[in-house]
Amino acid sequence: MPQTPPLPDEHAPHQRRYIDAVDGPILETLRTQRAEVTRVTGTIDETKGGYRYAAEKWTVREVIGHLSDAERVYGYRALAISRGDTTVPKYDPDAYVAASNYDARSVASLVEEFLAVRESTLQLFANLPGEAWSRRAILGAHPLSVRALAWIAAGHVRQHLDVLHDRYGIPR
């Protein structure tokens, strides 16, 4: 398993923000984020779950649900690429959230789902053969490596925890 972040030729330029948000060994970061997500979301009551900081922005529940959607996409892409499949799907986060009905669910159920999906992600990355980490596909016009996907998954959660704090007023 690689211990260093992916190089620029392993991902699209816009994904660098996620990669740069990760500080530390990747599997440990993915593990410790479970406790961080639990702690942060444990402060959100059901009333706050429906809050959006601006019109057309996602509610707190939708942000938490989006974490599961994105984690599944990153995990599937990593699985496919690690197995030699170079056809990886694009996805539209806004369309997924619009079709989700996340606001009909409890905050606790959304957090429970994310933690289950994260455990699956951890098991995938923890058990990949060493050579699988460097495998790549092309997504759009950009390369995407299995290694990059691990860092992207962790950085994506980091970014959205920061958004919950900065834009939604959720304590860290």
Q: Which domains does the chain have, with CATH numbers?
A: 12-166 (1.20.120.450)
Handedness of CA 69, 135, 122, 43 (dihedral sign): negative
Burial class of residue 13, CB neighbours in 10 A (0-12, 13-18, 19+): exposed
pTM value is 0.96
Q: In Å, what is the CA distance from 67 to each residue of 89, 117, 153, 167?
A: 17, 9, 9, 16
pLDDT of the residue at 126: 97
Q: Report the distance separating Cα 93 and Cα 62, nearest Å.
A: 11
Amino acid at 158: R
pLDDT of the residue at 21: 97
Tell me the per-residue pLDDT of 105-145, one tens digit each, with 9 for 90 and over: 999 999 999 999 999 999 999 999 999 999 999 999 999 99
pLDDT of the residue at 3: 80
Give every residue of the chain whose pLDDT is below 50, as ranges.
none
For all residues of the chain together, what is the average pLDDT? 97
